[in-house]
Amino acid sequence: MVHVTSLHGERPRAEGFAAPPDPANRPRRSSGRDMDRLTHTHATMEQALDKGVRAAQARFTAGLSPIALAAAFSDWALHLSTAPGKQLELVEKAGKKAWRFANYAALCARDPDTEESCITPLPQDRRFRGEAWQKWPFNAMSQAFLLNQQWWHNATTGIEGVTEQHEKVVEFATRQMLDIFSPSNSALTNPDVLTATFNQGGMNLWRGWQNFIEDVSRANTGRKPVGAEAFKVGRDMATAPGKVVYRNHLIELIQYAPTTEKVRPEPILIVPAWIMKYYILDLSEHNSLVRYLTSQGYTVFMISWKNPDADDRDLGMDDYLSLGIKSAIDAASAITDDQKIHAMGYCLGGTLLSIAAAAMARDHDTRLKSLTLLAAQVDFTEAGELTLFINDSQLAFLEDMMWDKGYLDTTQMAGAFQLLRSNDLIWSRVIHDYLMGERSEMNDLMAWNADATRMPYRMHSQYLRRLFLKNDLAEGRYEVAGRPVAISDIRTPVFMVGTERDHVAPWRSAYKFNLLSDTDVTFVLTNGGHNAGIVSEPGHPHRHYRLRRKAKDDPYTDPDTWMAGTEAVAGSWWPVMVDWLGEISGEPVSPPPLGSGTRGYPAVCDAPGTYVFQE
């Protein structure tokens, strides 16, 4: 692990930010229960015992609270037990489904190659689309499973009195359990696996077993997945030339070398999420957003976050604001001779940047020229299935698990995200790698995805409680430097990007920025997921986007109406963003130097720096 102290003294501070606290003596604003929950050194012996027990339990439950799950299922079961009408409805549905399946089975007996079906899979369910699944007996197996899955959906939803979150938890957990028994996930009932086993004399299963053993070995020893070694940071990824021009305990700030004779006077400062390494926006040469922006005549700065360890357990959201965004703005502004800044934030980085922009607007700090938010949320009331894991019981369990280590481990985060798309990220891999005995070809995005980081105990707890659970930012309770901030204070023009299949920051949730803002907003919806939709370089096949601009005085349009009335355009959204930036940028000038020793920001080392290599 690389540990580097700050190479710079204190800089003048923006009024809208709290002063960077001393990591060894960081002040806490929490009180009451939150103080007890977040403080490590002041826990009583009894509290430490409780936390230790729950932390031990968490190792066996993948971080999921058994009490939270029990509460959800109890709520569902008790309300169902006192709803005779719903029970009769379920009995009726079960009878109708059994009759439909019996008729279908009889039809298959007469014509095994029939193309008719009694139930159609959901559009996103691709498990039974192969030709072999349309033949007897596999068509009957898939239809029986889908009918059963549909019945359980009916059984776990629409029961009066069950809280909305409990209903979603029960429906989600039941779906996960049913997927275990999907005929596609068994070697004995998957026709593609059976064919491969017959044709290869069982060698596919032997290779699959070897793949499984290798994956388990790599996971247990902390090594990256097979093929990731072909994508090395600094050699194959994160190769855009530049210099680290500032470093403190939490960030390295990279300034990238210009590639054009003239550049726009306003620099771009990118704030990536700290849940993964920064270089998703500087992957390979052909799909690097950094390289694209510099080729379009922009000076680009990028924050590279430190990978926190147990010593950083008490780093909080205020630290990420002051040591992160505030310090980066100070540096980028000084190096570019006090030019205003185009700030760009991705995922968690976009949420933090929105908080910073609101605080700066509140305190009349006008250093931001524009705000670009990529797959980022400021309202968390509809934050997708991730909210299933967000309630007081679950968060207390998660906090105790982090309290034990001082951070949230990468494997625990990865497991939660994989559960949200289990068919795509878990079961498809089981079939492909272990039953078919094949290996998927590694690419740069997959290699980056395996390069996860940890989350400090204090920061992650504050993030989940204040934003996800209490929705403080959207409701005007989130405080910076002791005073609340409001998204409606932001007056800089905003460019927002959502992705159609985002399971981390659903686009309808990101779209809620329009409800809270009082400025011009250009909203873009692109196809793809949370990562692939953002890494959408020009020339990328099968890409499209929708775009509409809303002036601050325009009436609000709900997301479904927006979607229906906005035509899809083929191609990448990157050029559209550059055109938008160009409309509000000054005339090109000579590029600024890489760092500025005279203003206290000398070049420290070559990009990609040192923090990106921390394990």
Active site residues: 347
> Which residues lie closer than 8 Å to 104 by C-beta, 6 or more apart?
116, 117, 118, 140, 143
Q: By the 8 A CB rule, do 367 and 13 touch?
A: no
Residue 263 is classified by DSSP as B
Using CA atoms, how far apart are residues 224 and 474, in angstroms rounded to an integer?
Answer: 38
DSSP string, 519-563: S-EEEEEESS-TTTTTS--TT-TT-EEEEEEE-TTSPP--HHHHH
Sheet containing 300-305: order of strands: 569-570, 544-550, 521-526, 494-499, 368-374, 341-346, 268-271, 300-305, 251-256, 242-247, 605-606
Would strands 544-550 and 569-570 be described as parallel, antiparallel, or unpaired?
antiparallel
With CA atoms as reference, report the closest residue to 126 among 383, 431, 388: 431
Q: Is 596 helix (H, G, I), strand (E, B) or coil?
A: strand
Using CA atoms, how far apart are residues 350 and 343, in angstroms rounded to an integer?
Answer: 9
Token pair of 515 as six digits? 């409800």
Q: By the 8 A CB rule, do 217 and 224 touch?
A: no
- Expressed in angstroms, the distance from the first to the final Cα of the chain is 6
Using CA atoms, how far apart are residues 181 and 207, in angstroms rounded to an integer?
Answer: 23
Q: Where are the alpha helices (DSSP H) in 82-231?
A: 84-110, 138-156, 164-180, 191-200, 203-221
Q: Is 341 helix (H, G, I), strand (E, B) or coil?
A: strand
Token pair of 400 as six digits? 């105790």
Residue 592 is classified by DSSP as P
Q: What is the helix (H) or strand (E) element at residue 569, kind and residue range?
A: strand 569-570
Token pair of 333 as six digits? 């502004």
Q: What is the helix (H) or strand (E) element at residue 350, kind and residue range?
A: helix 348-362
Residue 225 is classified by DSSP as P
Q: Which residue has the tokens 């939150």?
A: 34
Q: Is 607 helix (H, G, I), strand (E, B) or coil?
A: coil
With CA atoms as reference, report the closest residue to 505 among 457, 468, 460: 468
Q: Which residue has the tokens 């793809």?
A: 528
